[in-house]
A and B are shown apart, each in its own frame.
Chain A
């Protein structure tokens, strides 16, 4: 079993749809959870950062963490064509200088 699993997609949705992206993990020691967006041939950019369980909202993006189920989600409301990218979840155990474990990424296409 991989440490972090993520549906690779591709996921295609119409513009304006609500998108749900998910990751599951096996290491219960993970406490810090990140979502990155990566456009083709570019480096990842941080979208959301959460610690432990709960929800966090930032504009059209909402991140959820359920540590009991080892499951995290990223919701995108009112999706736009510019949201088309690969979304990577990442996790770490500690909060300083710790390398992340990345999921394989989900390719999202938002169709106009």
Chain B
């Protein structure tokens, strides 16, 4: 149980285009989903926290108009990188926290999406 999927697993796009990444909790409902970015040999950097049905909360320095997050249902959150540029090339990872109060703070991570912007 507690599986999180991401689609696509990798994407290559031209500079200036937009890319949508999906994050799904397959066997549980998630009240909260998190989006992280990870550059090579660096740790995960939280970009934003999204709660179903409400606007995402972005971390300082993350442009909300560039990284659009939609948490439309309890099992799906999407991250859209708008007008992508080569510096947006990175590994994007989502995680999901199950619905309801847990005995501890659980986050289940997706397998990540590698974005390369040419």
Contact = CB atoms under 8 A, between A and B. Distances in A.
A and B pair up: yes
Interface of A: 6, 8, 32, 36, 41-46, 49, 51, 88, 92, 94-100, 102-105, 107
Contacts of A105: 42-43
14 contacts: A41-B112, A42-B111, A95-B102, A95-B104, A96-B101, A96-B102, A97-B97, A97-B105, A102-B44, A102-B45, A103-B43, A104-B42, A104-B43, A105-B43
Interface of B: 4, 6, 31-32, 34, 41-46, 49, 51, 91, 93, 95, 97, 101-102, 104-112, 114
How would you classify the secondary structure of chain B's contact residues: helix, strand, loop or mixed?
A: strand
Contacts of B106: 46
Contacts of B114: 41
A43 B97 contact: no
Given A43-B93, A44-B44, A88-B44, A100 B107 contact: yes
B93 A99 contact: no
Given A46-B107, A99-B49, 16 more contacts: A32-B104, A43-B95, A43-B109, A43-B112, A45-B109, A46-B106, A51-B104, A95-B102, A96-B97, A96-B101, A96-B102, A97-B51, A97-B97, A97-B105, A102-B44, A104-B42
